[in-house]
Amino acid sequence: MTEQRKIEFKRPFGPSIAKVQMTNELISKINHYVDAVIIDDEKSKKQDFGKHLAGNVKQEITLDEEFVKSSGLMNFLTSAVNAWIKNVNGETITKFVMISCWVVRQFENEYNPLHLHSGHISGVGYLKVPKDFGETYQEEKVNSNGKIAFVHGTRQFLSKNVEIFKPVIGDFYFFPNYLTHAVYPFRNNDNEERRSISFNAKIDESIYDVYGKK
């Protein structure tokens, strides 16, 4: 009888994506902040970030630096990124410089086209999610409504090039800035909001710049 050998699964190619859970307290703080901006016309105009972004959505709001720090969001992002980098390549970051941080308010039929980000590290977390993203027009088709798709390279034997995640409140995904991604539109008769938070940041250049290493 042939001996059964142990099978190991490795990920030798492709960028890494980390998934970390936000606390309910942090989610509540960010939603409260955004809701206050929404009802304040002056703040809504001042903090409108849509012209700097790729999304074709109702509203995109930049978060001010003071709130990012005082809410605990900065600590959450820094610790999560540090744990991710440590897990992937064993290095410890000494710098985490925020470039931008914003919230995306997406409603029915709106979408975010395929794009990438600036900086070194990016991420997206979910603050509000509709109860239903709607059905597909053809029942037998895979339903990607409202989901985020990460795309890298080309589809080949034993190697896919698209990874799709359904947004869940509290889930926060971290990824390298160059990883292209898109958000599909959805259908919802109750005009419910799909609300997410994103950021761009820089870490130690010596860690990010793999081409400068021997």
Q: Give 122-140 pLDDT, tens digit per residue.
A: 999 999 999 999 999 998 8
Residue 11 lies in a domain: no
Whether the CB-CB separation of 128 and 135 falls below 8 Å is answered with: no
Whether the CB-CB separation of 80 and 16 falls below 8 Å is answered with: no
Report CA-CA distances (Å) from 123 to 20, 59, 93, 134, 172. 10, 18, 17, 25, 7
Residue 80 lies in a domain: yes
Number of domains in the chain: 1
Residue 213 lies in a domain: no
Residue 214 lies in a domain: no
Residue 65 lies in a domain: yes
**Strand pairing category for 194-202 and 97-106:** antiparallel
Residue 112 lies in a domain: yes
Look up the pTM and report it.
0.93
Residue 107 lies in a domain: yes
Residue of 103, 149, 100 lying closest to 120 (CA atoms): 100
Domain encompassing residue 120: 18-206
Report CA-CA distances (Å) from 74 to 63, 111, 197, 213. 11, 27, 13, 29
Query: What CATH number does residue 66 fall under?
Result: 2.60.120.620
Q: Give 87-125 pLDDT, tens digit per residue.
A: 999 999 999 999 999 999 999 999 999 999 999 999 999
Residue 27 lies in a domain: yes
In angstroms, rounded to a whole number, what is the distance separating the alpha carbons of residues 23 and 175?
A: 20
- Encode the chain (214 residues) as per-residue pLDDT tens digits: 555 567 776 677 789 999 999 999 999 999 999 999 999 999 999 999 999 999 999 899 999 999 999 999 999 999 999 999 999 999 999 999 999 999 999 999 999 999 999 999 999 999 999 999 999 999 889 999 999 999 999 999 988 999 999 999 999 999 999 999 999 999 998 999 999 999 999 999 999 998 876 6
Biggest CA-to-CA distance, the chain: 76
